[in-house]
Chains A and B, each alone.
Chain A
């Protein structure tokens, strides 16, 4: 298996633009997690899905952020409009979803908003 796939690996955009980050979880995993990592705030859980349904989005910073999981093999995290403070590394992770199952992380998308 190729592991969790994220695209793009790097994104540079101007403030106000829409940004879409993509994630393909490991086949057979039914839980998917979006995290954000910054120097100031560390690793934050933004939202997670189970069987394509959002379970907890309390970590989503504000309405500019939205996430979807239209099917078991694809998820997006969208920021519209983007702001410089959104600059971070965004990770997607997936797992089998049962308590204690290992979360497998993707390589991350480094987002820079100028």
Chain B
């Protein structure tokens, strides 16, 4: 079945790197996403990776994809207090119409 799993909570010290992990099930997913949700707001696309890539870097963000293990990770370098939020991993279901399956979200807490 369709399932995306993430750990629920991560706490890091300001300035350290954060790594949020995710596993997904649909091996035919063409896109995998990381969305960010700040308190009281909707989700906002943070970054994505196409399934034929192993890594994507965008400023402080690095996405790693291991297709064999169906494992996706998001690394945030030099984590700041403004990075405190819930991070959702999502896979797109093959078959069109842009239907996404989201994980439960990882709450990132950044402390001084």
**Chain A positions near chain B (C-beta within 8 angstroms):** 4, 31, 42-43, 45, 48, 50, 55-56, 91, 93, 95, 97-108
Contact = CB atoms under 8 A, between A and B. Distances in A.
Interface of B: 30-31, 40-45, 48, 50, 88, 92, 96-105
A109 to B, nearest CB: 10
Given A91-B42, A106-B42, A107-B42, A97 B97 contact: yes
Contact of B98 (A31, A91, A108): A31
A100 B40 CA distance: 26
Contacts of A106: 42
Nearest to B8: A42
B98 A105 contact: no
26 contacts: A31-B98, A43-B43, A43-B104, A43-B105, A45-B100, A45-B102, A48-B99, A56-B97, A91-B43, A93-B43, A95-B98, A97-B97, A99-B30, A99-B96, A99-B97, A99-B98, A100-B48, A100-B50, A100-B92, A102-B48, A103-B45, A104-B45, A105-B42, A106-B42, A107-B42, A108-B41
Contacts, number: 59
Contacts of B44: 105
Contacts of B31: 99-100
Contacts of A4: 42
Contacts of B96: 99
| 3 interchain residue pairs of minimum CB distance | A105-B42, A42-B104, A43-B102
Given A4-B42, A45-B102, A98-B98, 14 more contacts: A31-B97, A43-B88, A43-B102, A45-B99, A45-B100, A93-B42, A93-B43, A97-B97, A99-B96, A99-B98, A100-B50, A103-B98, A107-B42, A108-B41
A98 B103 CA distance: 22
B7 to A, nearest CB: 13
Contacts of A104: 45
A42 B42 contact: no
Contacts of B40: 107
A99 B92 contact: yes
Given A42-B105, A43-B105, A97 B98 contact: yes
